[in-house]
A and B are shown apart, each in its own frame.
Chain A
């Protein structure tokens, strides 16, 4: 009964966040995705139409030339090309994930600050919606809703691009469609992206927690506090550490962790950032010029095996709790 009511309230709170941020979370990636399709689609189509099938293609380190395309068994060649295309096609939507990082960053900074600035917090607080629910809805919007929307748009844009390219190729006599549609990677790639979402959430928690905390605390200029405090603290620690090393030859244990902590507090919302964090075991296997996509998911989940990820989650949860307390008692005059 109570959980039903909470689930219902959460549904409306998430909808509320979407109404407010539809521009940044939906229209911006949609427009950029559409531009990507148009620009890259035109370039690819023009390239194929104007020059025919390239004489030399280097994909993933395998050089294919025109003569070989004809010489080798057509089906086999097509399978290779299709596999490469389907494995890599989501790469075309990388700009959308860059945009996502910015959207989530500014969304979190404003989430609990804007409502205080325009005093609309007094309206939201006049309704039977608790502070934990409200803050949780904002964290979920940042870590799940916004990335999920981007994933859907990215997959859609990438598929459209892939089919534009194939259509252009088939107009030149090289029909990849059947090979493409029978390639399991075509269908697995979007699922892999969705499978990465839980990993993203785990690594994003400390950053989202920190940004929401600053957002609920700062009287003005939340961005300066959010970026300034960790950076100034880092510089101070580094400086003290260097001084200590000079005079006593000892170093602070803290200094070893300071950069990592700051990177995780500010960078956790960047998709894939976990591969750059120390302590994350093996890096992605580079396969020629591309990334072996099938390996990304298991590698990402392996990053959760260490304690680092979960220490971050605990800290992020503590900061979210602090943000809730802050919102509960903040006096908006």
Chain B
């Protein structure tokens, strides 16, 4: 199967500021990709380019379409949640379902209604009468009932409380995702998504600094709890990050080609796979400085 998204030399400038700086990446079908970076790193701009919402330079192909010229064809197979709480205030839940059912050939009405039935939403309710969590539930019910090949979620849980956030990702994984679908999620709350992702892309200052599958990351990065007496030996292996937990040094190593070997690291102390959040912090060091 060909790539769902393929970018080559993708750039976007806003005046003098370069939001996305010549990035290239490939996202195959059947993946859940986390596009992760700090605020202002270019995540949203990249996705907007892929969704045909903004002009850009370079090459970008989404499901074989150029989002600049073939957006209408593209939107038959793509769905996105650009932000929470963008449903118009005057819209009734029932009308929203009717409308999407009316205009979207891939919308499954029963699925949306089944999903709504598990919430406190009523068809006569207007968006302005709903809590933020309920708006997300409605939006999610609409989007998850669409059998799209590509679903793009841009900060889908921003400003939501923890119960809705957990539920959101759980529903996404259990009810929606299958091997024919691809999901791209941007967030800066890494710890929420790490267990559902199959692939990671770290983006920083408009460039992709890391793109790998979760398996590759598990093989490549090692975190070691280094006891006091082995500190200098550990430092000699050039850890990419170090921090202290309960008086013990915790070091992050790149065990990929050219880095330290697993045997060397195991000799230093207890090893484990780092969390994506720790990897993120290590990779993004200096971004906020």
Contact = CB atoms under 8 A, between A and B. Distances in A.
Interface of A: 5, 8-9, 11-13, 15-16, 19-20, 115, 118-120, 122-123, 125-130, 328-329, 331-332
Contact of A120 (B79, B88, B95, B103): B88
Interface in B71-125: 71-72, 75-76, 79-83, 86-92, 95, 98-100, 102-105
Given A120-B87, A120-B88, A129 B103 contact: yes
A198 B55 CA distance: 38
B54 interface: yes
Given A126-B81, A329-B54, A9 B86 contact: no
Contact of A19 (B83, B92, B105): B92
Q: Which of A8, A128, A332 is most buried by chain B, counting CB atoms within 10 A of its CB?
A: A128
B75 A118 contact: no
A126 B92 contact: no
Contacts of B98: 12
A51 B100 CA distance: 60
A331 B88 contact: no
Contacts of A12: 98-99, 102-103
A329 B175 CA distance: 33
Nearest to A19: B95
B53 interface: yes
A118 B89 contact: yes
Interface string B46-64: 0010010111000000000
B103 A19 contact: no
A332 B88 CA distance: 15
Contact of A15 (B71, B81, B88, B99): B99
B104 A127 contact: yes
Nearest to A121: B86
A331 B104 contact: no
Contact of B72 (A19, A118, A120, A128): A128
Contact of B86 (A118, A129, A130, A328): A118
Contacts of A20: 88, 90-91
A122 B139 CA distance: 12
B94 to A, nearest CB: 10
B11 to A, nearest CB: 15
A331 B54 CA distance: 6
Nearest to A115: B88
A19 B90 contact: yes
Contacts, number: 72
A127 B103 CA distance: 8
B86 A125 contact: no
B150 to A, nearest CB: 12
B79 A130 contact: no
A318 to B, nearest CB: 21
A328 B139 CA distance: 23
A331 B105 CA distance: 27
A123 to B, nearest CB: 5
A116 to B, nearest CB: 11
A196 to B, nearest CB: 31
Contacts of B51: 125
B87 to A, nearest CB: 6
Q: Which 8 A-B pairs have the closest CB atoms?
A: A12-B102, A122-B82, A120-B88, A128-B75, A119-B86, A130-B72, A126-B80, A331-B54
Contacts of B95: 16, 19
A188 B79 CA distance: 51
A130 B81 CA distance: 17
A9 B100 CA distance: 10
Contact of A9 (B83, B87, B102): B102
Given A19-B95, A329-B55, 6 more contacts: A9-B103, A12-B99, A122-B83, A127-B103, A128-B76, A128-B103
Contacts of B79: 126
B104 A128 contact: yes
A126 B105 CA distance: 13
Contacts of A127: 75, 100, 103-104
Interface in B150-197: none
B44 to A, nearest CB: 9
Nearest to B89: A118
Contacts of B71: 130, 328
A119 B83 contact: yes
A122 B72 contact: no
7 contacts: A15-B102, A19-B91, A122-B86, A126-B75, A126-B80, A128-B103, A329-B54
Nearest to B90: A20
A16 B99 CA distance: 7
Contacts of B99: 12, 15-16
Nearest to A132: B72
A332 B55 CA distance: 13
A15 B102 CA distance: 10
Contact of A125 (B53, B87, B90, B100): B53
A31 B287 CA distance: 60
A20 B87 CA distance: 12
Contacts of A11: 102
B102 A331 contact: no
Contacts of A125: 51, 53, 75
A98 to B, nearest CB: 25
A118 B104 contact: no
